[in-house]
C-alpha cells in the first residue's frame, strides 16, 4: 500500500501504455482487480487479432521520458530509473535520453504517498489514481 517498486513500475507501465488505463493504483483487495484482469485478458486477445505489438509503438524516447516523469511526480521508488533505462534499452531507445530526463529540473510532486508521504496507495486510487494526478 506504499509507493514501492511494484507500485512505481505499475504507474510507469501505465504511463507507457502497457497496461489498461486506471489499473496501476487499484488496491489489492478492491473488487476492481478481477474486473481489470478480465478486461486485460479481453484486450490482449483483441491485440493479437489486430497484430498490435508494444515493441512497434513504444520505441520513442518521449514515451520513456513520460514514464520517468510519472515515477518522479509520484515520489516513486528510486530504482524505477534503473528499470526504465533497461526497458528503454530493450526497446531500442537510447538510455541516455531516458537518463537525461532526471536532470531536466525538478518535477512537480503530484502524490503524497508513503513511504515519503503521508497517504497510502489506496487513498491515491480513491482520489482518482494516476489519471487524476
Tens digits of per-residue pLDDT, 52-108?
877 666 567 888 888 988 888 888 888 998 999 898 888 888 765 555 555 455 556
Q: How many beta carbons lie within 10 A of that of residue 86, not counting itself?
A: 12
- DSSP H helices, 51-94, are 54-57, 61-73, 80-90
Q: Which residues contact 125 (CB under 8 A, 6 or more apart)?
A: 25, 26, 27, 30
Q: Per DSSP, what are the bridge partners of residue 119?
A: 113
Close Cβ partners of 74 (under 8 Å, ≥ 6 residues apart): 3, 8, 11, 110, 111, 113, 130, 133
Rounded-to-integer distance, Cα 22 and Cα 30, Å = 13
pLDDT of 40: 93
Q: What is the extent of the structural domain holding 45?
A: 5-132
pTM confidence score: 0.81
How many domains does the chain divide into?
1
Say if residues 20 and 39 touch (Cβ distance below 8 Å): yes
Amino acid at each position: 500500500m506504499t509507493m514501492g517498486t511494484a507500485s512505481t513500475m505499475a504507474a510507469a507501465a501505465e504511463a507507457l501504455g502497457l497496461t489498461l488505463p486506471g489499473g496501476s493504483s487499484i488496491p489489492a483487495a478492491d473488487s476492481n482487480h478481477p474486473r481489470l484482469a478480465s478486461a486485460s485478458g479481453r484486450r490482449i486477445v483483441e491485440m493479437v487479432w489486430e497484430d498490435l505489438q508494444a515493441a512497434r509503438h513504444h520505441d520513442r524516447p518521449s514515451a520513456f521520458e513520460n514514464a520517468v516523469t510519472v515515477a518522479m511526480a509520484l515520489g516513486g521508488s528510486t530504482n524505477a530509473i534503473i528499470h526504465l533505462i533497461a526497458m528503454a534499452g530493450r526497446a531500442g531507445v537510447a538510455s541516455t535520453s531516458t537518463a537525461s530526463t532526471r536532470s531536466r529540473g525538478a518535477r512537480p510532486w503530484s502524490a503524497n504517498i508513503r513511504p515519503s508521504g503521508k497517504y497510502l496507495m489506496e487513498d491515491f486510487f480513491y482520489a482518482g489514481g494516476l489519471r487524476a494526478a
